[in-house]
Homo-oligomer: A and B are copies of this chain.
Amino acid sequence: MPKKNLPPDAAKMGEFALIARHFTRTAAASAESLVLGVGDDGALIQPTPGHQLAISSDMLVEGRHFFPDADPGSLGHKALAVNLSDLAAMGARPLGFTLAIALPAVDDAWLAAFARGLFALADAHACPLVGGDTTRGPLTLSITVFGEVLPGQALRRSAAQSGDDLWLSGRTGEARLALAQRQGLPWATTASPADLTQARARMDQPTPRLALGQALAGLAHAAIDVSDGLAGDLGHILQASELGADIDWAALPLAPALAALPVEWQRECVLHGGDDYELLFTASPDDRDRVRAAGAASETVVQRIGRLHAAPGLVLIDHHGQRAPLAMRGHDHFAA
């Protein structure tokens, strides 16, 4: 952590040293590419020769992106996961991340749990913390991740082609249900406790699809991670690629927790719910076997859920083959 936020008096020095302790680690979890980590004016990383650098930043603010009573371990996981998910959507391999954190007060147990959640995910992807900043302020987490990808292989929103298949990893909707249940909305309480627990885990500890993203680099055309809702995020690909798309409702995987809901709520969750962090991507129909092989190699379920076409607009095709326009809107969890 930079020196500039080490206050001069001993009491506070102790507090900030305490914070630093939770984020300072031995080289155990360091990746080969890390030349110099936390503790200087900056970090030094040696990217693989010939690769491009992929960079993404996300800021999480208490009360807007997470509840004030959020479990600190889950929060540590999620703060990094939403950033790694952006690298996955670029097809990049993680190299490291920085964490800037504002804290209203020092709570040793909270920090220890936060760091455990954060580093468990970082270690799983060999993505070391290389630097950052700690300061006093309203609880705010700002992470920037760096990855690398071969030139021309990054998955861009603008690269979809007319005639492409539309694919989805995993399934969407459970995070939206878990949020609704957390908010006490009556329709969300019909699922079984076991299904709700699973849905809650999807909201609190999302899985960034890094292995799949890397397997798709140079194979898929466009990709995005579903953070804001399937229809809304697909809209970003369609806008950037100047295309339209059909989605087959019957092809979309439905989580057990959503099975008993009226179809309107199922659609709200699956098509417009945020916080799923699955990959939504397009690829040539000629490459279906290769896409399935990429899914198998990365142990990630992939499902063909529609197709792209030159005609603008998004269309949902229901179980009966009926076509209806679908709004390209997402969901903001903390909007008023």
Please state if A228 and B6 are interface contacts (CB–CB under 8 Å).
Answer: yes
Instruction: Tell yes or no: A244 within 8 A of B by CB.
Output: no
Interface residues of A in 84-100 (CB under 8 A from B): 86-87, 89-90, 92, 96, 98-100
Please state if A40 and B137 are interface contacts (CB–CB under 8 Å).
Answer: no
Interface residues of A in 229-251 (CB under 8 A from B): 232-233, 236, 240
Please state if B98 and A42 are interface contacts (CB–CB under 8 Å).
Answer: no
A138 contact from B12, B98, B138, B154, Cβ within 8 A: B138
Please state if A140 and B102 are interface contacts (CB–CB under 8 Å).
Answer: yes
Interface size on A, residues (CB 8 A): 82
Instruction: Tell yes or no: A284 within 8 A of B by CB.
Output: no
- Using known A-B contacts A58-B2, A144-B98, A228-B3, determine if residue A136 contacts B64 with beta carbons closer than 8 Å: yes
Distance between A225 CB and nearest chain B CB, rounded to angstroms: 6
- Using known A-B contacts A4-B274, A137-B64, determine if residue A52 contacts B59 with beta carbons closer than 8 Å: no
A224 to B149, CA, bound (A): 32
Distance between A128 CB and nearest chain B CB, rounded to angstroms: 11
Please state if B52 and A98 are interface contacts (CB–CB under 8 Å).
Answer: no
A57 contact from B44, B64, B98, Cβ within 8 A: B98
Q: Which residues of A contact B (CB under 8 A)?
A: 2-9, 12, 35-36, 39-47, 49-50, 52-59, 61-65, 82, 86-87, 89-90, 92, 96, 98-102, 130-133, 135-138, 140, 142, 144-147, 149, 151, 154, 156-158, 223-225, 227-228, 232-233, 236, 240, 274, 329-332, 335
Taking A4-B228, A41-B224 as given, write out 16 further A-B residue pairs in contact, using a Cβ cutoff of 8 Å, ordered by the A residue number: A3-B227, A3-B232, A5-B332, A8-B330, A8-B332, A9-B335, A12-B332, A43-B55, A49-B50, A55-B98, A57-B98, A57-B132, A59-B135, A100-B144, A102-B140, A140-B140
